[in-house]
Structure formats: C-alpha cells, structure tokens
Amino acid sequence: MSTKIFQLLLSSSRYYSVNKIIIKRLIRSNQIVSNESHRQHQDLISTASASSIIETNSNTHSQNELNALSEVEKDSFALDFLNSIAPPLKKSFNLAAYINRSITLQKLLQLDVNLSKIDKDVNLASFIVRCDFENDIQPLLILLLDYGINGYEAGDVLNKNPYLLTVYSSNERINPDDLKTKINYFLFHKFTKENIGSILRKFPQLFSLKLPTIDENIAALGEEYALNPKEIRHVIQQYPKIVTLNQVRLKRCTFTFHEEMGFTETEIKSILLRYPILWLRIPTTRYTS
C-alpha cells in the first residue's frame, strides 16, 4: 500500500482510533519495501549494464583479433609480393642468408650437401644461388645415378667436389670441361661404368682436372712403370688420386723407392699395383729433375 492511502486512513474518523504507532510502523515498513524494490531495480540495471559492458568488451576483443588476423594476412601477402618483385640476390658472406628463398639450396641441403664448402668460392656460390635446380642440378644427379651413385651417395660426392654442380653451366670460369667428355674418355679406355662409379665415390675431384692433364698423367704413369692398359685401370680404380701426379712427381717417387730404399724396378711395380696410396705418402723432396 502506498503512503497516500495510509494518510487517508489517518484523516478518516472511522480509523482515527487505530493506534497511530501501528500505522506509522506500517508506513515505515512500506517505505522499506519500496526502498528495497528500488534497490533491486537499480541492481538489475547495474547487472544489465555490466553484462552489456562485458558483451561490448568481448565483441571489441573479438573484433581486435579479427583485425590482427587481417593485418597478418595483409603482411603475408605483402611479403609474398615483395619477394616476387625483389631485386637479384646480392653477395653475402655465406649461403645461409638465401636458403629460405632458394629452392636449389633447400634441395642441396636435403642431399646433405655442405654449403660451407661452396661458400669458399665466390663464383661457385654465386652460380649455385642463382641456378635452377631442375635445369642445372638435376641432370647431374641423373648422370650420377646412371653410374651407380644414388641420392644418399650424391651428397658425399658433391661435398668432395662441389664443382661438379657446375657441369651443366655455360660459365667457363668455373666449368672448364664437360663432365660427359671426361667420362667418355674413361669409357674409351675400357673403364666400365662400375669403375667410373667407384672413381666418383673415392675421388670425384679427378673430374675437375682438365682432360689434357688427365691424359698426360695417365700416359706418364704407364710409361714410368711399364704398365699395360689393364694394370693402369687397376691402379686408377684402386687409388684414383694417383692421376693427379705428373711425370716429374712420378720420377721423384721412383727415385725414392729405387735410390733411397733399394727396391728394383720389378719390386717398385709390384708395390704400385698393391699399394698405390704410397705414391702420395712418401717424401720426395730430395729428388731434383
């Protein structure tokens, strides 16, 4: 009941005898109820406002996340675009700076190629970082596979002689001779594919020598120790690095074995056929041609 109703009751003669104290208590009670109702109403409004604020903040947070994702996507598109129009790669101290942008380098790493060895030659590194893997490198891997060098072995071969990577390049500064020409040279001299594959595994650096140098050194080896073609193939297959020795170096070895160690020519030849590695291990400084 409202306060006005109770005031009317007070003014009425019929209820005048009612205890005023009781009526006042009722009025006070009504005011308390009214105040409590008002407070609950205010709490309800506050709760609704808080809920609205939370919902607004949640919506704002979600919108901020969407905006952030949108910015990331924009940045990603921008980076892709910048990469597509970027100028040619400049020289660097190492190839690591180009790995993310060079498919060729990524493929070489998959083959366990040691890029630090390529870094040592500026021309070689410059070629590798600019070459196309399918056109410049893959034909080499196919050729190696044809001679028994599988993908697992190719990385080891290329680590020993990274210049093989340039065999299909037209850059004469780093590719003086064609690999196929040298392989054909050995095939012509009755080396089998298995022999050539063995040479590639043991000493692929041999194929970076100029072909005239290879031919001269092999001829000098056969002449110095009276080797027939079969014996020459046997020695080279056992220790391909012996082909790096020219005529002067071979004579120094002969001098050491004969004059200093006392071996006969027959014994020297026998040692050569069994232990050709000794020709690059013994000191030969005392001999002067």
Residue 65 reports pLDDT greater than 80:
no
Where is pLDDT greater, at 141 or 16?
141
Give kind and range of the element (H or E) at residue 91. Answer: none
Read off the pLDDT of each residue in 136-164 and give the average, rounded to a whole number.
Answer: 92
Q: Do residues 182 and 214 touch, judged by C-beta distance below 8 A?
A: yes
Range scoring the smallest mean pLDDT among 15-24, 136-145, 179-188, 279-288? 15-24
State which amino acid sits at residue 206. Answer: L
Q: Do residues 224 and 250 touch, judged by C-beta distance below 8 A?
A: yes
Residue 202 reports pLDDT greater than 90:
yes
Residue 170 reports pLDDT greater than 80:
no
Read off the pLDDT of each residue in 63-80 and give the average, rounded to a whole number.
Answer: 52
Max CA pair span of the chain: 158
DSSP strands (E only) in 147-225: none
φ, ψ of residue 17 to 5 degrees: the values are -75, -10
Residue keyed to tokens 């105040």: 35
Question: What is the structure's pLDDT at 219?
Answer: 97
Q: How is residue 31 annotated by DSSP? A: H
Percent of the chain with pLDDT over 90: 48
Token duo for residue 31: 């005011």
Residue (of 65, 44, 63) closest to 55 by Cα position? 63
Token duo for residue 179: 């690999």
- Torsional class of 262: left (φ above 0), alpha (ψ -120 to 50), beta (otherwise): left
Q: What is the pLDDT of residues 257-277, one digit of tens each?
A: 999 999 999 999 999 999 999
- Quick one: pLDDT band at residue 88, thresholds 50, 70, 90? low
Residue 207 reports pLDDT greater than 90:
yes
From residue 79, give the alpha-carbon distance in Å to each of 84, 86, 149, 225, 227: 9, 10, 39, 65, 64
- Quick one: pLDDT band at residue 12, thresholds 50, 70, 90? very low
Question: What is the structure's pLDDT at 242?
Answer: 97
CB under 8 Å to 269, separation ≥6 — which residues?
Answer: 225, 226, 227
Count other Cβ atoms within 10 Å, centred on residue 105. 22
How do the domains of the chain map onto residue ranges?
A: 3-85, 209-289
Q: DSSP secondary structure string, 109-145?
A: HHTT--HHHHHT-HHHHHHHHHS-IIIIIHHHHHHHH
Q: Do residues 225 and 175 touch, judged by C-beta distance below 8 A?
A: no
Question: What is the structure's pLDDT at 33?
Answer: 44
Predicted structure pTM score: 0.65
Residue keyed to tokens 């299909």: 168
Question: What is the structure's pLDDT at 123?
Answer: 87
Question: What is the structure's pLDDT at 285?
Answer: 56
